[in-house]
Structure formats: C-alpha cells, structure tokens
Structure 1
Amino acid sequence: MKYQCEGCERLVQVESFRIEDGQLAVTCRVCGAKTLAGPSPSVSPVVAAAPVVAAAPVVPVALQEASREREDAPGARGGDNAAVAMPAPEVFVPPAPARASVTALRVIRSEAASLAPPDFDGDPFQSPPGHCPKCVAPMRDDAGACAQCGLVYANFIPDEHQPSGFLSTEWRALMGTWHDWDAHDRLLSQAMGRGELAMVGRLYRLRLARAPNDPQALRGRDEVVRRVTSAVPLASDGPSPALARKVKNTVMGAVMVVALVLVLVLFQLLRGAF
C-alpha cells in the first residue's frame, strides 16, 4: 500500500505506522516528513479531482490487529472513551501522464544535383593537361616518357588514337543522355560487336581524368573491364567451329589420297606378279 507524502509529494510505500490521537501516523522514508490520516466522511478533493479511480485499498494485517485489540480493551464497546475503528486511508493514484505525440519526419532527398547535366569541358577525345595522351595516366614533370605505357611523348601521333566515325558520333550522343545507363549499355554492346571496346574504355578514362568522381564514367570503365575479362576465356576455349570443320576436311582428304596411292601400288604389284 502506498500513500502520498505531504512533505515531498511522492508516492511512498507504507513500511511502518503508528496511532497518534486516533489518527494513523506514517513517516516518509525519503524526506522524513510525518503524515497524519484520520477518518473522513467525504472523499478528499484531490481524490475527487483525479481522473483515474483507484481500487479499494487493502488494510494491512497489523492495522487490523491493532483495531481488534482496541475493540477488545475495556470500555471499547461503549462510553465516551470508546475507540472508533478508523477506515483505511484513501490512496491517491496520480493519472498516467499522456504520451507525447511523436511525428516521424520523412527526409526527402533531392535528386536534382545528381541529375544535373555534367560539364563536358574540353575535347572529349583528347587527354587533359598533365595526363599521358595514350593511356591517360598522370604524367611526371621530369619524365619524357610514360611510366605506365612507355610512350615517348615526343613521338605521340594523335590520329592513331582517335575513335572511328561511328564511335565518335555515338559518344557525342551519349553525352546528351549521360545519366541514362541504358544508353551506356547499348553503346558498350555496339562497341563490343564492332571490336572497339578498348577504345570505349579509353573514352571513359578520358572522362574520369576530367571528372574523377563521375559515377557513370566509373561504372562504364568497370563494365568495360568486366566484358573484356569475360570474353577472353571464351576465345581461348578452342578453335572456332568453322576452323575445326576446315581442319577436319583437310585431314579426311589427305587420308583418302594416301589410301588411293596405296591401292594403286598394290594393283601394280599384283599385275606384275601375274
């Protein structure tokens, strides 16, 4: 059983109590304040104002025995000094605090920045300054040749590393729909069919030299590497069907010629014997 302390206004568990002048005296174990509770014909205003109706309090066994002893004492059943059994003090149960309304906030991320048209500055088919014109690797100021591909910069011929007319046209059209990965995939498939996949990889490296964080260029370069590495094992599995058929026909023809010569030799030997 708990009660509300008049000193600290806390709900304190009743551990011990005593009777003082016909009232129940309880000492708060938190602040030490003493609270008196006596019989009340009406409900206290605090309890009446509470929105939650408390259950009927349970009278401790010790209190029941104390009341029973007072009733059995001399003069307890009549007279002016008769003791009156006190009802158990009503316990105030504070209402449960209302739960604060929490509204989940949905973060909306704008994709305007990611879909903004990229800045294609400079010639898309030439290496930017500070990069090897052949392999697009970073150049060293004190070197006359590329440390990665071995190109002597003075001997570089730009026309030898230009894409074909078809690839140039398709690449410029791709620059207009740069964020459409389906367009990148179509160009990769066409270049693979025409044998220009390595040139497409160089174009992606040229783009990364100007925009190192371009996600489409990074993905395109990785896709070129994936397609090249997946095509090499297929080409090294064995000869093509046309070549295998040609070799088979050649071997069969040679066997037939040898067999015909043997038959002729055998016929001449048999003819000379008779």
Structure 2
Amino acid sequence: MSAVTDAAPIAAPAHPVVQSVRDSLVIAKRNLIRMSRIPEMVIFGLIQPIMFVVLFSYVFGGSMNIGGTTDSSVYRNFLMAGIFAQTVTFATAGAGAGIADDMHKGLIDRFRSLPMARGAVLTGRTLADLVQTALTLFVLAIVALLVGWRTHTSAGEVLAAFGLLLLLGYAFTWVGALIGLSVRTPEAATSGGLIWLFPVTFISNAFVDSSRMTPWLQHVADWNPFSATVQACRKLFGNPGVSPSDAWPMVHPVWASLIWSVLIIVVFRTLAVRKYRSAAA
C-alpha cells in the first residue's frame, strides 16, 4: 500500500515592491512603538523649536526690518515658516543617531538574518521619524498661533505648505541616515548631523531678508534648498516674504521646493541603501 500525503501549498513569493513596502511598514511600526515607550524623546524634541519661537519672536522681533518696518508682528509672521523648516530639518540629527545606535547595538545584524528587503530597515526608520516630525510640527503650529502667527490663505494652501515642510524633512532624514551609517557611535552621528545643518539653515532666508546679505552670500542663500521651502511656505501661508529676487527658486519657490526635496531623496536614499548593503556585507 502507498500512503498519499497532501503537502501544504507553498505561498508564492510576494512581489519585491510589495515585500519592500510591507517590511518598511513593519520596521516603522517597531520604531514608533519604541518612541512611544520613551516619551522623553518626543518631549525634548518639542522643547527646542518652542524655545526658538519664543526667543526669536520676542527677543529679535522688534529689531528686524522686514518690508521696511520693524513691527514685531510682521517679523513674527515672516519668521514662522523659517522656524517650521528648521524644526523638520533638525530632526535629521536624531535620525542619524538612531540608525548609528542600531548599528552599534548589533540590531542591524539581527535584521540581516531575516528574509526582508534590504532597504526596508532604513525606509521604516525614516518613515517613523517622519511621523514624529509631523507631531512636532503640529504642536509647534499651535504654539505659533498662541504667539500671534496667522495665515491669510485657504486651508488647502496651508496644508500644502505643511506638506512641503514634511517632504523636506523626509528628504533631509535620508542625509541623516547616510551619516548614521558612516560613523561608529550615536554621539558622532549627532555631531555630524548638526555641523552641516547650521550653515544650511542660517545661510538662508529663514530668519533675515536675504537681500540684505552681501551679493555672493545672497546668491548662495537664494539657491539653498532650505530657502526654497521657506519661501514656498511664506507664499502658501500668505505671510510676508523676502525682497524680490531674480533667482529661479525665489521666483518659483513651490516648484523649486518640490524639485530639491525629490532630488535629495533620490540621491541620498540611493547612497544610504548602498552604504547599508556594504556595511552589512
């Protein structure tokens, strides 16, 4: 006699794109759960941008000349787009430190033993950081309203501005991911993430009118990707902007912001995934 056994059907492998999306969401969920269990990470992330809002609004507000006036309320509306953009970009340092910490503790090696898409580890981490950045931006917007910031456009344009901010933050998070994979310790990732952020955010139109800079510095500021997003947000918020400039990003800030952000994501995601694969080889 011969026994006939029914073998369990073998599930067909998922499409690589589907698997990558699924694995990325799993990693993002893991990081969000970890963040929820360490609330001080979120709290401390909120303190710094709130301090910037209060200090710049009340300490420097009456001394800044925007559009020919030193009215502090005018500067406050001018300022907020820059503070929002600075907040989303400074999240880069945290993203780099988190990835460096995972590398240092050997967590990345454990992920390597699982049948998962290679890029999912980084994508999941950056998506989790994007959620945290969105929460920070929401709280910061409430604080801005409390100190007198106002928008003068439609709800759709305001939401589009916040969308550009989150896109810029997500793009810069990939820069942080590359830094986190390139250093040996979380402390080095934090330092490396902040060193380049200060010139990017301050050599821009975020806090002052770039037309008051020396010509060569104004040219750098006008073509700064950070400046394009700030200018786009001011336009979409209906807030006062910088003096007219012939630079293309200042004439078409929304398109410039989109192009810069997508370009940064494509370039630095490619480099970060390649670095991850070589580090994990």
TM (norm. structure 2) is: 0.25
Q: Radius of gyration: which is bigger?
A: 1
Q: Is the helix fraction higher in 1 or 2?
A: 2
Structure 1 or 2: more strand by fraction: 1
TM-score by length of 1: 0.25
Instruction: Tell me: higher relative CO, structure 1 or 2? Use CA pairs within 8 A at least 6 residues apart.
Output: 2
